[in-house]
Amino acid sequence: MLRPRNIIFLIIVLLAFLLYYNDANYSQTVIGAIQNAEVSYAKIIHIKEIKDVAIVFYETKENNFGFCYIKKNFLGWYWVSDGGGLISINTPQSWTYSNRKIGKNSYPVCFGCVSNDTIQNVYYIIINLKDGAKIINKASAEIIHEYTPAKLWYVLLGEADLQFKYAEVTFEGSDSAVVSLYVNNYP
């Protein structure tokens, strides 16, 4: 049986470990978690928080764009994963996709750039090719207004949207871009 003195010693050791571990890997802020993870970024552009997860969009020192996943628990915020590939402002319709499972939830994100100045809106559509190219979902993408040299956009996809096999960015009129996600077959 443990004596009270031994129990106090074990509690002190446990607290010291938690304090050390907290300083090494956790931060009280999302930005601090990115800095702890040594993500190479020049500027944080936008942060989208969903409960205890933050999706952080950033510009790199090489003028590319990316995003990463940050999670919060009782110790603070910590870096989980990058968001896939980087996109370039020099490629007119570049985009990337990631679907990270964090805990019990998935966080599927499409993120892209449209460098055409006349584009004011970005939409995404899910097209089921098995049913004669039937549109099964259409919604507006979120425009990241904090960055102005190009239109940066992102879409948080739903579970039903995850079965896409092919995607493309096209233009609809002079002021809208459409991200088409095709399911069940390639066009």
- pLDDT for 2 equals 67
The model's pTM is: 0.76
Instruction: Compute the average pLDDT of residues 3-11.
Output: 74
Work out the widest C-alpha separation in the chain, in whole angstroms: 78
Q: Does residue 145 register a pLDDT over 80?
A: no
Residue 82 tokens, joined = 């990058």
Handedness of CA 10, 16, 19, 22 (dihedral sign): negative
Share of the chain above pLDDT 70, in %: 70
Domain coverage including residue 137: 4-183
- pLDDT for 186 equals 45
Separation CA 171–CA 152 (nearest Å):
15
Instruction: Compute the average pLDDT of residues 61-82.
Output: 88
- pLDDT for 104 equals 86
Instruction: Compute the average pLDDT of residues 177-184.
Output: 64
Number of domains making up the chain = 1
Asked if 67 contacts 55 with a C-beta cutoff of 8 angstroms, the reply is yes
